[in-house]
Amino acid sequence: MLRRDIPGQGEMPVARMIELLLLKGWTGPWGIEILSETYRVRPLDEALGEVVRDTLAQFELAGAGAR
């Protein structure tokens, strides 16, 4: 639980999950949690850019753009 990766960096096919949720009609908010010892110790201003960039890239791969 404390070794999770940023969306798109781990094994889970995040872009595919986004595609499927949108196909099912999801219109709610999107959010991420970083349950990682590695990221919790990083300064927010340093880690946030990477998290935002990599998460938004998953929406682009899903053909959803930034939502």
- Transcribe 8-55 into DSSP letters: TTSSS-HHHHHHHHHHTT--S-------BHHHHTS-HHHHHHHHHHHH
pLDDT at 67: 52
Q: What is the pTM of this model?
A: 0.79
Share of the chain above pLDDT 70, in %: 93
The pLDDT value given to residue 24:
96
Q: Per-residue pLDDT tens for 11-28?
A: 789 999 999 999 999 999
Report pLDDT digits (tens) over 25-51: 999 999 888 778 887 888 988 888 888
